[in-house]
Amino acid sequence: MNFDKVLGPTDSPSVLDEILAFRTHTSVRAKGVNQSGQSHHQFVAELDARAQAWHLVDDQGRTSSAAGTWLLQDREASMEVVFPRGMPRAVQMLYPEALLMWGRRGESYYPMLIQEIGQRSLLITFEHIEDPALRATAVVNRHTGVIEKLAVMGDIIILTEVETGVPLDPGIKPEFLPITDWIRPDY
């Protein structure tokens, strides 16, 4: 992996391959916060890659999931999808190849810089293909391959608790505590 070196779009496939090599699990559950502008909501996201199923519930009681070929919104079938399509960004962070930012055909972003931060994390800066001033960032945990922080166009998603190797539990009823302070980074 090339650290602290500006990368071009042709380097993108190898970056994604190296990120995916960190993953040692097929199932993962994460609790987190999604902030967009002045509003935020908390959520629990779950993924079982082997079963090609995922589930997301937020602090407003909204749910979305996919099992088999149907995307469910609040337990109602809304459209047919093929895994991993239809995943919200919070779930895509658990399955990085689902993010449409790796410079593959038809994607607008590509990874242009990788830096080591903290004890166990990588900071990836993505650049827009058409506008180099438009950037996004992701923090990847090198022990799990999970993206623990994603910032795109002012929207920020931070995973605060990540568990790997846990079974998917679509009936999960998480308890969300009020957010009283900024979420401190743990890289």
Instruction: Sketch out the chain's domains with CATH numbers.
Output: 9-164 (2.50.20.10)
Q: What is the mean pLDDT of the chain?
A: 92
> In angstroms, rounded to a whole number, what is the distance separating the alpha carbons of residues 114 and 124?
5
Rg over alpha carbons for the chain, rounded to the nearest Å, is: 16
Res 30 pLDDT > 80: yes
Partners of 156 in beta bridges: 35, 151
Q: What is the pLDDT of residues 135-182, one digit of tens each?
A: 999 999 999 999 999 999 989 999 999 999 999 888 888 999 998 888
The predicted-structure confidence for 47-66, as pLDDT tens digits, reads as follows 999 999 999 999 998 999 88
Give residue 72's pLDDT band: very low, low, confident or very high (50, 70, 90).
confident
φ and ψ at 18, to 5 degrees? -70, -35
SS3 183: coil
Q: Between residues 113 and 84, which one has the greater pLDDT?
A: 113
The predicted structure's pLDDT at residue 77: 67
Say whether pTM exceeds 0.85. yes
- Give tens-digit pLDDT for 167-179: 988 888 899 999 8
